[in-house]
Amino acid sequence: MYEEKHMWDTVYIRGKFFAGFRTTSRCEGLHSIVARYVGSRHDLTSFVEHFQRCVAHMRFKEFNADYESTRGVPVMKTCIELLERYAAELYTYEIFRFFRPFLSRAGSMRVLNIENNDDGIKYIMCKHGRPDFMWTIDFRQEEMIFMCTCLRMESFGIPCEHIVKVLVDIDICEIPRSLVLDRWTKKVKSALIDPSGFTRDAVVISRQSALMEFSKQLAAVAAKVPERYEETRDLIMGLYSSYKAVDEGTNQPHSDVAKSSDY
């Protein structure tokens, strides 16, 4: 029994990257979402139809999350405004909300001692009014590498308040690259490559997801009536031809554009 604790107990997984997963609660939460759409009494056809609705719902929520991350900069709330603003521009909206309390708690940290050695600089600090709780941060200035005994950076990929305190102490206004995990940044989707081999921008991917969702809703309504189907088909093909002509640099006649807009 004690050997199995190494697989799930927080004490043993501390310092190992699990992206915030500690229990099966997130898997159970996913199961509860699927259960809203899929039931044991559904046949195979109904299962596929309802499951596609579930996936479309989850993708639409992802699109909303991407939109929240790209629309403007949140209001600054901490006294470390330069680091906070840089984090707001770097991280996604959800990760920034998770990281901002660390910036606030960095103000309550107090440096007890600074030791210089051949390997780098060692900071020993504690919480204000709590000298019994101490942490040690090893800082290698040449490589800009930070290691804290709390191991939060290794566990989740977000700098802890102790490392933030060191950044403030050495007057660094940006989060060093060694402390940035790509999966938590806004630009992570820009590294996605489509089958053609070209890199697509995250904003374009978000727009494409939104248009696909709206198109599915339109198709579900238009396909029920033959006249609506033909009208919708002609509209889509007209818009496609118009946009394709613009992308290719050709001059689309005004009459064609007007016909597309008449729908």
Same domain, residue pair 86 and 150: yes
Same domain, residue pair 91 and 62: no
Same domain, residue pair 171 and 93: yes
Same domain, residue pair 124 and 169: yes
Same domain, residue pair 174 and 85: yes
Query: Considering the domain boundaries, does residue 215 fall inside one?
Result: yes
User: Which residues span the domain enclosing 240?
Assistant: 200-245
Same domain, residue pair 173 and 108: yes
Same domain, residue pair 48 and 110: no
Asked if residue 40 lies in contact with residue 178, where contact means CB atoms within 8 angstroms, the answer is: no
Whole-prediction pTM: 0.60
Same domain, residue pair 13 and 106: no
Same domain, residue pair 90 and 180: yes
Same domain, residue pair 170 and 102: yes
Six token digits for residue 240 = 């496609």
* Mean pLDDT of the region 120-137: 87
Angle CA 85–205–201, to nearest 5: 60
What's the number of domains the chain is made of? 3
Model confidence pLDDT, tens digit, residues 182-241: 888 887 776 555 554 444 555 666 677 778 778 888 888 888 888 888 898 888 888 888
Q: Which of 187, 217, 232 is the last residue of a domain?
A: 187
Same domain, residue pair 169 and 139: yes
Query: Considering the domain boundaries, does residue 261 fall inside one?
Result: no
Model confidence pLDDT, tens digit, residues 56-114: 888 887 777 777 777 767 778 888 888 898 998 888 888 898 899 999 888 888 888 88
Alpha carbon separation from 37 to 11, 63, 214, 216 (Å, rounded):
37, 20, 19, 17
Model confidence pLDDT, tens digit, residues 133-158: 899 999 988 888 999 998 888 888 88
Query: What pLDDT, on a 0 to 100 scale, did the predictor assign at position 246?
Result: 81
pLDDT interval class at 11 (50, 70, 90): low
